[in-house]
Structure 1
Amino acid sequence: MRKASLRLIGILFILAIYAINGYAELNIKNSSKLFGTVKSAQGEALTGVNIIISGNNFFKGTVSDIDGKYEITTIPSGEYILKATFIGFKPIEIPITIDGNQDYKTNLNLNTDNFKLEDIQVNGKSILTKISEAPFEVAAVSTAKIQNSTTDVKAILNKVSGVRIQEEGGLGSNSTFSLNGFSGDQVKFFLDGIPIDNYGSSFSLGDIPVNMIERIEVYKGVVPVWLGTDALGGAVNIITNKKSKLLDFSYSYGSFNTHRASVNGTFTNEETGFMLKANAFYNYSDNNYKVNAPITNSNGNIVNYQDVERFHDRYKSGTVKIEAGVTNKSYADKLLFGIMGSANDKQVQTGVTMRTVYGGIVTNSQSFTPSIKYSKKDLFTEGLDISFSAAYNSSESQVIDTLKGITYNWLGERFVSTTSNGQVSEDGENYRTFTTLNDDDISSQLNLGYQINKTSSVSLNYAYNYFHRKAFDKEHPDEISNLFPNALNKHILGFAYQLNLNKKWNTTVFGKMYHLNTKASRVEDFALETQRTIEYRTNTNNWGYGIASAYFILPELQVKASYEHTYRLPKPEELFGDGLFIQANSDLGPEQSDNYNIGANYKYTFNSNHHIKIGGSYIYRNANDLIHTVAVFANPQTHFDNLSKTKAWGIEGNAEYNWKEIFHLSTNITYQKITDQAKRVYNESYTGTGWQRNFHYGFRVPNMPYLFGNINAGFSFNNVLLSASKLDFNYHLNYVDEYFLTWAEMGSNNEDYVIPQQTSHDIELSYSLKNGKYNISAECRNLLDAKLYDKFYLQKPGRAFYIKLRYNL
């Protein structure tokens, strides 16, 4: 099954390249191309600007994209007029001479043209500005300036204030996303509005290349209804490239034998509306970086600590995603049918901590996902908009631990483990298993919006998710728990009313309904003579609600406030485990939280060249039944449990300065505190059941950074050595203060239970030719080779070097 899946993905990869190459050859034959960037006088890229070239009985137009870029192709020789128009800006007309088979770059700058229409002031704004000025606390990050870097989604998000991604190792390692104190699935992830969970475990954040992405939206705390999610602490929506015509190839190579390749393309026939989109990427790494690890002897006793090379951590993955359909039709603004195939193959080096090391455990996963997307504005009547998406994911994953009686230490030495009677042990390295998990996942989302009048609108969202797992263990074919169903049904219904009385103030009020139905197994009367496994069902209904409001005190100063009473339903991995290190817990209940956000943003431009942005926010979370990871330092396994009552509060701030397009400097810092607030907890076990004193009361939840920040700086120079070239230099600093690995009172006197303060430095140099058509970049991560740690004191890679080649048409 796995080999067949990999072959099919390889075939799809080749088809994607052929399809995109066909588009490339078509473009090469074009006579002339006119392209450039449209910006405001303040240097902000403008999206949606109408650009038309006309003359000599020739007329053609386009609109600028998210980065302000435009492109008009197949222009014959002659004299033309280039015209740009945009609401809120003065139109401009420029004479253009086209001569022969050449590319012409013309950048456009529009000046603001404020005017009043029924006492409402209209100003043109970019999409990023519109998103950031929404009443929700949201950060929008464009990838326009980092397309040449070797970064991925995780690295981009780690530079957003309030965000911390804890990784278990190098490329392909498991990670935990934290946003303002909430982590894991308390923060939901979407790809173009579709939950990423639906794509299977072989499609992860660390695999997605930056060249596939247009922007990332990070919603903190309160989440808009249209995302249709049960997030507790926020959501992340990754927006892929929306250009109607695109061709982008990239390949990077770096330390630890790391290879990353991607191809992204879009072709749109402007006459027929036919659209073809293809994305394909491949990742590989040996992950053989050095770590300081405990060396054990054949008895499992630690004899010393040494710097050793990871020897069983190879990772490879591949994904192909193809969509085809039509755009700009009377019955649909966009109708796309898609298919995605992905697979990964991973060696497992450690458990939850570095105390245990493995040399034979492997996991793999393959998934195929057909999908449909539909959207239409002004459906049946003006002001009624609809969007619908649905996807079905069929995935198969395996957990293989079949080395009987063998253990390893960090030197890669093999030891034979025996039983008390001298026989070779039948146990695996962790737990002897060859488990195959077959998962079926259906997800759909419907959004309806209606503009009642100029100031009022309503929206309705319905999201549905179905999950079913079938498990079989070749090593334990009679495993009782595998004979019981693992299934989940989730329904989320949301309604919102938005009021925009004027351009200064807008408010949204909303309500949500959450329904969860699960089927699983659980052990009753553990360790007693009556111990048994039974089928266990849950059926819960919850209601959430909230409000978000934003107001411009000054044209440059906006304040925001939002509140939400929300729920987060357990996900399959938390309920059913992963077949390896995460144990099942069918008793998990929904999390609930009251989220408060207060923030302000200020931006100012002076002398037309200096641009300043300053922002900050205060967050407060009062959560019950918070789902968190339970781990024992010397135990490779973990499970999820509910904390009956927790409280989180924090502050974050960010500042940004830009001088022309030459220099930029930005920084952000986050302080957060999340503590256990339950004075008493209910303990249910065979040794004693009842309410007991909570010894963790008032202490910080462990394994969660509380003070961290970033600094980013860079220079850009045009026409260096050659015309139409660009040289970029960027520097990034990341800081994390020390924090506790376990509950503070248990580890405060033992440095082994404290993750130390960390500072890392990254630098990057890139050079582009022919206005970004050919690109080369070099990057050094962790320049000073600092020892960096994350989840449960797991060590991350040291100094690493990467080089990337990119072709962009």
Structure 2
Amino acid sequence: MPGVNLVLNPGNKGVTTDINGEFTFQNISSGTYKLQVSCIGFQSLNREVQVKDEKSPALQLVLVPENYMINDVVVSGKSATRRVIEQAYQVSSVSTKELFNSTSDAKSVLDRIPGVRIQEEGGLGSDLSFTLNGFSGDQVKFFMDGIPMDNAGSMTLGDLPVNMIERIDVYKGVVPVWLGTDALGGAVNIITNRTNNYLDASYAYGSFNTHRASLNGAYTNEETGFTFRGNLFYNYSDNHYKVWARIVENNTVVDTAWVRRFHDRYRSGSLKLETGLVDKSFADQLLLGFMLSANDKQVQHGATMNTVYGGIVRNSQSVMPTLRYNKKDLLTEGLDVSLYSALNRSRSEVIDTLQGVRYNWLGEQSIIYTSNGERSTDGEFYRTFTTLDETDFNTQLNAGYALSTRSSLALNYSLNYFHRKAHDTEHPDEPANRFPKDLTKQVLGLAYKFDLNNKWSTTLFGKMYHIHAATSKLFDFAMETQRVEAVDNKQFNFGYGLATSYFVMPELQLKFSYEHTARMPMPEEIFGDGLFVEANPDLGPEQSDNINLGAAFSTQKLGNHHLSVGSSLIYREAKDLIYTVVTVSSPQTRYDNLSDTRVLGVEGNLQYAWKDVFHAGANVTYQDITDRAKLIYNESYTGSGWQTNYHYGFRLPNKPYLFANFNAGATAKNVLVDGSTLNVNYFVNFVEKYFLTWTELGAGSDKYIIPRQVSHDIELSYSLQNGKYNIAAECRNLFNEKLYDKYYLQKPGRSFSIKLRYTI
């Protein structure tokens, strides 16, 4: 019988029988003991046991069934989401179970979490920037089942369907050692569906000719341990929604009108397979995997909407084999080990081969001539057919050892190697492409966790970061000695911190965490993307001191009512922050270091539920991100040196500082037929107006302001046969508001979709 509880006294030692009904008490000295055996539905058993040095007793115990009448049974426990939230780290966790029938993806789920703001460049497949408590881009790291997504091929957050996700955990500020990363401001861990046997298939169609299909499933043989898991999804959209744009003819603005985007198609697909053995004596999991992904996107514009394109395209394909292994109690009790390795080989293309042509927002072409009257040979942006062949290898080892029931050690080592080779058929002699781009990054972390009692838990940790980048750099621009040379850059950094949690009462938890951390530049930040992101080989690592102070109250003791309230205070002091430099008149951006910045913020959330019938919630985030460097070092050909920083004290541009979300929903069971469920959900998103460029630049109407935005979404779903058959309808941006985001780029207006889903 599995799950039988046994207690040995004196000593109050307890064990539970395994799936075969077997049990063992370790390290028992000689003497006389009383053994108590209990299991629901059976009579309790008490037996006296004699333990002698020369031989440990082997017992065969038989329980007698017991029948009895009870009035009420109350079973209380904690969900996986609740257990994550109660960690000492400042973390938000959201279950996606209630969203399986929606057309949501990982991006839209994350955008409703306190402290999170996702900025997009447009519709499905558009580039996005993820902001968490003031940090954005690669300052926040992404994981899938604890595995870095840096080498996840062509997949993006907007591609991942909600059906393959069980929950999403967002770590704010301090990041656990076991994730093995150099995140500056936090991390996101996407937990996929790990059910042993299931099938989930769905198809959705929506506005702008949008199609989204997914197939997810798993099979596990309980006797042999053989398992096979797979995820397949496909996304397509023409993204031909209307935007309010300036019509340009002969470099002159002649009109402003509502026009349809005409060159913004996006399509992507991914196949992810894993097979191997589970629950064996030598491995809890031993899985070999394979992932194949691809996407292609027409490029409508650059970093701003001032210039429109009609022929530029980008595409990417990748193949990635993987190995996953983990085992609890490896060789000795209390030693847990996990290993993950992946090798991603990808090829991407950037194509701009239309010569002497310019488009306006009406889709009209105009011919560009040179000064001597000949048709220009320039591309729309920069004539190119660049192919990027990239190799990305990642391996991560975690080891944890329980020193006692209240203390443990955790060790992590991660290695990432990136190599890029570029070739441009339009410019085969491009000097920079003669130099390979290589980046090697290593992270080593050690943590000690100590639980003083059942109320108080503390973790101390240290991390070491190392990066080695080999690339090229342009010297002496516009001078007779102008040249491109190879450069080599090696950097070390160290981090440390602590996270502590205390339960004042079972319903009230207080948290404090501090971390001194560093983040090494990513390949795109150093090497560029071959089109709209320029390279910066001089980019240095960024460092930050992060402090979080939080409180959370949650109770189940209000009858049919459940209430949870939480809030946290945020302080970040960052040095050499890597940020995106935007010029309103240019489609290009680049990354640079900002010597000193500070983030002060507060966030709060409230959730209420009545039975399984009604729920409502809201969260709000305020973050004041300012430049704190009084002097900056300016290096130019006209003179280098320290100069007054005129941005001192002003908020960083293009970052929302006040935003909020509201949601409400209702559920009705057995509507029309037994076994059916009707769900209605309503969402409101609010973002206060903020500046695209530095606040002090311009005056009055000359300032570039991204206006206040309020959007409404509504979802309606109906399930039959206890969720086997499902149909859902959605409307996003219900009131067709003008929504802007990243660099004042307009997002889709009102859209509709319908989704069919089958699951067993």
The TM-score, its normalising length taken from structure 2, stands at: 0.91
In the TM superposition, what are the counterparts of 1:109-124 in structure 2 within 5 Å? 110-112=74-76, 124=77
Taking structure 1 as reference, are residues 473 and 109 closer, same or farther at Cα in structure 2, changes over 3 Å only? Answer: farther
In the TM superposition, what are the counterparts of 1:553-592 in structure 2 within 5 Å? 553-592=504-543
Q: Retained in 2: the 8 A contact 1:526–1:686?
A: no
1:585-618 Cα shifts (integer Å, max 9, x gaps):
0010000000000000001234420000000000
Taking structure 1 as reference, are residues 270 and 82 closer, same or farther at Cα in structure 2, changes over 3 Å only? Answer: farther
Q: Retained in 2: the 8 A contact 1:251–1:259?
A: yes
Q: Secondary structure at the match of 1:155?
A: helix
Q: Retained in 2: the 8 A contact 1:522–1:535?
A: yes
Question: How far 1:525 moved relative to its partner?
Answer: 1.3
Name 2:35's counterpart in structure 1.
Answer: none
190, 194, 197: which is aligned to 2:150? Answer: 197
Q: Retained in 1: the 8 A contact 2:697–2:703?
A: no
| Alignment partner of 1:165 is 2:129 | no
Name 1:104's counterpart in structure 2.
Answer: none
Question: How far 1:676 moved relative to its partner?
Answer: 0.7
Q: Secondary structure at the match of 2:697?
A: helix
Taking structure 1 as reference, are residues 109 and 392 closer, same or farther at Cα in structure 2, changes over 3 Å only? Answer: farther
For 1:334 and 1:780, the matched residues in 2 are separated by 41
161, 183, 194: which is aligned to 1:209? Answer: 161
Name 2:246's counterpart in structure 1.
Answer: 294
Taking structure 1 as reference, are residues 109 and 127 closer, same or farther at Cα in structure 2, changes over 3 Å only? Answer: farther
Taking structure 1 as reference, are residues 50 and 94 closer, same or farther at Cα in structure 2, changes over 3 Å only? Answer: farther
For 2:261 and 2:576, the matched residues in 1 are separated by 38
442, 447, 451: which is aligned to 2:402? Answer: 451
In the TM superposition, what are the counterparts of 1:120-135 in structure 2 within 5 Å? 124-135=77-88
Q: Secondary structure at the match of 1:355?
A: coil
Question: How far 1:556 moved relative to its partner?
Answer: 0.8
Amino acid at match of 2:200: D
Amino acid at match of 2:605: N
Q: Which one has a larger percent helix, Structure 1 or Structure 2?
A: 1
| Alignment partner of 1:499 is 2:450 | yes
Amino acid at match of 2:196: S
For 1:780 and 1:394, the matched residues in 2 are separated by 39
For 1:109 and 1:199, the matched residues in 2 are separated by 46
1:671-722 Cα shifts (integer Å, max 9, x gaps):
0011111111111121221111111111110000000000000000000000
Q: Retained in 2: the 8 A contact 1:256–1:287?
A: yes
For 2:328 and 2:197, the matched residues in 1 are separated by 22
Q: Retained in 2: the 8 A contact 1:528–1:686?
A: no
Question: How far 1:110 moved relative to its partner?
Answer: 4.2
Q: Secondary structure at the match of 1:207?
A: coil
Name 2:459's counterpart in structure 1.
Answer: 508
Question: How far 1:193 moved relative to its partner?
Answer: 1.3
Name 1:21's counterpart in structure 2.
Answer: none
Name 1:242's counterpart in structure 2.
Answer: 194
Larger Rg: 2
Question: How far 1:187 moved relative to its partner?
Answer: 0.2
For 2:351 and 2:101, the matched residues in 1 are separated by 38
For 2:137 and 2:283, the matched residues in 1 are separated by 36
436, 449, 452: which is aligned to 2:387? Answer: 436
Amino acid at match of 1:799: R
367, 383, 394: which is aligned to 2:334? Answer: 383
| Alignment partner of 1:270 is 2:256 | no
Query: Gapped runs of 5+ residues in structure 1?
Result: 1-48, 53-58, 61-80, 85-92, 96-107, 113-123
Q: Secondary structure at the match of 1:744?
A: coil
Question: How far 1:527 moved relative to its partner?
Answer: 1.7
1:298-343 Cα shifts (integer Å, max 9, x gaps):
x222122110000000000000000000000000000100000000
Taking structure 1 as reference, are residues 245 and 304 closer, same or farther at Cα in structure 2, changes over 3 Å only? Answer: same
Question: How far 1:546 moved relative to its partner?
Answer: 0.3
For 1:262 and 1:668, the matched residues in 2 are separated by 31
Amino acid at match of 1:270: E
Question: Once superposed, what is the RMSD of the aligned Cα atoms?
Answer: 1.8
| Alignment partner of 1:664 is 2:607 | no
Q: Retained in 1: the 8 A contact 2:725–2:759?
A: yes
Name 2:36's counterpart in structure 1.
Answer: none
Taking structure 1 as reference, are residues 609 and 423 closer, same or farther at Cα in structure 2, changes over 3 Å only? Answer: same
Name 1:119's counterpart in structure 2.
Answer: none
| Alignment partner of 1:726 is 2:677 | yes
Name 1:255's counterpart in structure 2.
Answer: 207
Q: Secondary structure at the match of 1:156?
A: helix
Question: How far 1:296 moved relative to its partner?
Answer: 0.2
| Alignment partner of 1:741 is 2:692 | yes
Taking structure 1 as reference, are residues 748 and 234 closer, same or farther at Cα in structure 2, changes over 3 Å only? Answer: farther
For 1:174 and 1:689, the matched residues in 2 are separated by 35
Question: How far 1:83 moved relative to its partner?
Answer: 7.5
Q: Retained in 2: the 8 A contact 1:264–1:279?
A: yes
Name 1:472's counterpart in structure 2.
Answer: 423
For 1:722 and 1:748, the matched residues in 2 are separated by 63
Amino acid at match of 1:208: L
In the TM superposition, what are the counterparts of 1:66-105 in structure 2 within 5 Å? none
For 1:454 and 1:466, the matched residues in 2 are separated by 38
Name 1:152's counterpart in structure 2.
Answer: 105
Aligned residues: 702
Amino acid at match of 1:111: V
Name 1:401's counterpart in structure 2.
Answer: 352
Question: How far 1:797 moved relative to its partner?
Answer: 0.2
1:68-103 Cα shifts (integer Å, max 9, x gaps):
xxxxxxxxxxxxx9979xxxxxxxx999xxxxxxxx
Q: Retained in 2: the 8 A contact 1:191–1:239?
A: yes
Q: Secondary structure at the match of 2:559?
A: coil
Q: Retained in 2: the 8 A contact 1:748–1:754?
A: no
For 2:41 and 2:384, the matched residues in 1 are separated by 67
Q: Retained in 2: the 8 A contact 1:435–1:472?
A: yes
| Alignment partner of 1:366 is 2:317 | yes
Name 1:178's counterpart in structure 2.
Answer: 131
Amino acid at match of 1:159: R
Q: Secondary structure at the match of 1:199?
A: coil
For 2:75 and 2:290, the matched residues in 1 are separated by 44
Question: How far 1:164 moved relative to its partner?
Answer: 0.1
In the TM superposition, what are the counterparts of 1:613-652 in structure 2 within 5 Å? 613-652=564-603
Q: Retained in 2: the 8 A contact 1:527–1:686?
A: no
174, 177, 187: which is aligned to 1:222? Answer: 174
| Alignment partner of 1:323 is 2:274 | yes
Q: Secondary structure at the match of 2:394?
A: strand
For 1:638 and 1:591, the matched residues in 2 are separated by 19
Q: Secondary structure at the match of 2:665?
A: strand
Amino acid at match of 1:214: E
Question: How far 1:752 moved relative to its partner?
Answer: 5.6
Q: Secondary structure at the match of 2:277?
A: strand
For 1:50 and 1:680, the matched residues in 2 are separated by 67
Q: Retained in 2: the 8 A contact 1:747–1:754?
A: no
Question: How far 1:111 moved relative to its partner?
Answer: 2.9
1:553-601 Cα shifts (integer Å, max 9, x gaps):
1111100000000001100000000011000000100000000000000
Q: Retained in 2: the 8 A contact 1:546–1:562?
A: yes
For 1:696 and 1:531, the matched residues in 2 are separated by 32
Amino acid at match of 1:258: T
Name 1:16's counterpart in structure 2.
Answer: none
1:244-284 Cα shifts (integer Å, max 9, x gaps):
11100000000000000000000000010000001000000
The TM-score, its normalising length taken from structure 1, stands at: 0.85
Q: Secondary structure at the match of 1:745?
A: coil
Query: Gapped runs of 5+ residues in structure 2?
Result: 1-15, 22-38, 43-64
For 1:548 and 1:240, the matched residues in 2 are separated by 26
Taking structure 1 as reference, are residues 738 and 51 closer, same or farther at Cα in structure 2, changes over 3 Å only? Answer: farther
For 2:573 and 2:18, the matched residues in 1 are separated by 50
Name 1:87's counterpart in structure 2.
Answer: none
Q: Secondary structure at the match of 2:150?
A: helix
Name 1:688's counterpart in structure 2.
Answer: 639
Amino acid at match of 2:171: Y
Name 1:73's counterpart in structure 2.
Answer: none
Q: Retained in 2: the 8 A contact 1:740–1:747?
A: no
1:445-502 Cα shifts (integer Å, max 9, x gaps):
0000000001110000001000000000000000000001200000000000000111
184, 187, 197: which is aligned to 1:232? Answer: 184
